[in-house]
Amino acid sequence: MPLPSMKEQFAALIATPSVSCTQASLDQSNRPVIDLLASWLGDLGFAIDIQPVSPGKFNLLASFGTGPGGLVLAGHSDTVPYDAALWKTDPLKLTEVDGRWVGLGSCDMKGFFALAIEAVLPLLDQPFKQPLLILATCDEESSMSGARALAAAGRPLGRAAVIGEPTGLKPIRLHKGVMMERIDILGRSGHSSDPSLGHSALEAMHDAIGELRGLRLAWQREYRNPQFSVPQPTLNFGCIHGGDNPNRICGQCSLEFDLRPLPGMDPQVLRAAIRQKLEPVAERHKVKIDYAPLFAEVPPFEQAEDAELVRVAERLTGHRAEAVAFGTEAPYLQRLGCETLVLGPGDIACAHQPGEYLEMSRLTPTVRLLRELIEHYCLTPA
């Protein structure tokens, strides 16, 4: 059976639901997408390794050629949830609209795999000096469990890794980390007419927020990277809940906040500083304070500007490597010894939006760029 065309592969990937979501009612298995990719790549002579991560969730590592080094073309096989009523087209059907391919995952980022396969097709009859690996992960849009599992396994991947997230075909060598945290304060409720009858969790939280604001100011004075559009680390107080009535001393209060550290800022060091500031607040107000991450953090990412991959990508794209605010799987691949860049054809402005699209004008340049990367890393001696 002949291999489907690039457009047919792109359409098949869009038509195969693979939503990743923290809400179990919306979450889906990514196995059908993995099976599609495994079938196509297996027919081309790739060695196929499907790796279970959790029930219904899988990574795919497909390799052509053997030996150390080589190039990894990486992406995630899942999408965010969607509301079909807000789309003007069927989100699970590839639709051409005004020079764009519209569909869920077209930009972010299942479509990247079809472009990667198209890029390698005319090269398969040449001797590969180093292997090409195509990596598809699970759950990037929620827990990043696929990338975390790879990093935990510790198996070296390749000499260089390119993650096809939406960057407008500009190489990205830095991004901020993502930390989502929660503080729960348990006080003691009582009648509001006599403050001695209780310990106010709300007043303790007021002081806790003051300490966090002080840390934010100190971190923003200490850390700055002008390559980011927001050059300092940020700390956003996202939501707060506490108490139940004006005439009761507040017995419980919780806060959720988002912290975006710059490269060079260790999340564990940041958490230790927060805990150190919260301890005296708990003692002063005679309350219990629990502080923990909502999710495991995505570390900040930085690839050295003089790395071979950075220089090669800058030469091939004509763009200097930049920084972005959104997080990716890059730090996990970097832990496995890969020089790593984020570089893909989509635009982040339309990701996670109804009507997500990929400009058709980006198709040929992306295929050409990926082919040149494969030639550099796989067809020439290391």
User: Are residues 79 and 190 both part of a single domain?
Assistant: no
- The candidate with the shortest Cα–Cα distance to 233, out of 269, 200, 199, 202, is 269
User: Are residues 115 and 203 both part of a single domain?
Assistant: no
Q: Are 13 and 27 in contact (CB under 8 A)?
A: no
Cα separation, 372 vs 29, in Å, equals 33
End-of-domain residue from the set 298, 319, 345: 298
pLDDT, residue 315, reads: 98
User: Are residues 322 and 204 both part of a single domain?
Assistant: no
End-of-domain residue from the set 237, 267, 298: 298
User: Are residues 115 and 257 both part of a single domain?
Assistant: no
> What's the structural domain count of the chain?
2
Residue 128 lies in a domain: yes
Residue 277 lies in a domain: yes
- Which of the residues 108, 140, 165, 184 is marked catalytic? 140
Does the model's pTM come out above 0.85? yes
Helix, strand and coil content of the chain, in percent to the nearest 5, comes to 35, 25, 40
Q: Are 141 and 81 in contact (CB under 8 A)?
A: no
Residue 313 lies in a domain: yes
User: Are residues 165 and 248 both part of a single domain?
Assistant: no
> What CA–CA distances, in Å, run from 185 to 189, 201, 259?
12, 6, 19
Write out the residue range of the structural domain in which residue 97 sits.
6-175+300-379
The percentage of the chain sitting over the pLDDT mark of 90, rounded to a whole number, equals 95
User: Are residues 142 and 25 both part of a single domain?
Assistant: yes
**For the chain (length 382 residues), average pLDDT per consecutive 10?**
93 98 93 98 98 98 93 98 96 98 98 98 96 97 94 94 98 96 97 96 98 98 94 96 97 96 96 98 98 92 97 98 94 96 96 97 98 96 73
CB neighbours of residue 254 within 10 Å? 16
CB neighbours of residue 371 within 10 Å? 18
Ramachandran quadrant class, 281 (left: phi over 0; alpha: psi -120 to 50; beta: rest): alpha
Q: Would the CA dihedral through 264, 349, 34, 368 be positive or negative? A: negative
Tens digits of residue pLDDT in 255-282: 999 999 999 999 999 999 999 999 999 9
**Is 78 part of the annotated catalytic residue set?**
yes
pLDDT, residue 292, reads: 97
CB half-sphere exposure, 18, CA atoms < 13 A: 33
User: Are residues 345 and 292 both part of a single domain?
Assistant: no
- The candidate with the shortest Cα–Cα distance to 55, out of 28, 73, 85, 33, is 28
pLDDT, residue 329, reads: 97
CATH code at 289?
3.30.70.360
Q: Are 133 and 71 in contact (CB under 8 A)?
A: yes
Tens digits of residue pLDDT in 37-66: 999 999 999 999 999 999 999 999 999 998
∠ CA 366-372-378 to the nearest 5 degrees? 125
Q: Are 220 and 232 in contact (CB under 8 A)?
A: yes
Residue 69 lies in a domain: yes
**Is 375 part of the annotated catalytic residue set?**
no
Residue 1 lies in a domain: no
User: Are residues 290 and 196 both part of a single domain?
Assistant: yes
User: Are residues 169 and 183 both part of a single domain?
Assistant: no
- Which of the residues 27, 78, 139, 339 is marked catalytic? 78
The stretches of 44-195 forming alpha helices (DSSP H) are 111-120, 145-153
Residue 136 lies in a domain: yes
Helical pair 111-120 and 6-14, crossing angle rounded to 10 deg: 160
In 3-state terms, what secondary structure has residue 380? coil
CATH code at 94?
3.40.630.10
Residue 43 lies in a domain: yes
End-of-domain residue from the set 298, 333, 352: 298
Tell me which residue has tokens 């890393």.
Answer: 377
pLDDT, residue 67, reads: 85
Residue 339 lies in a domain: yes
pLDDT, residue 162, reads: 98
User: Are residues 131 and 274 both part of a single domain?
Assistant: no
User: Are residues 203 and 348 both part of a single domain?
Assistant: no
Q: Are 145 and 51 in contact (CB under 8 A)?
A: no
User: Are residues 197 and 81 both part of a single domain?
Assistant: no
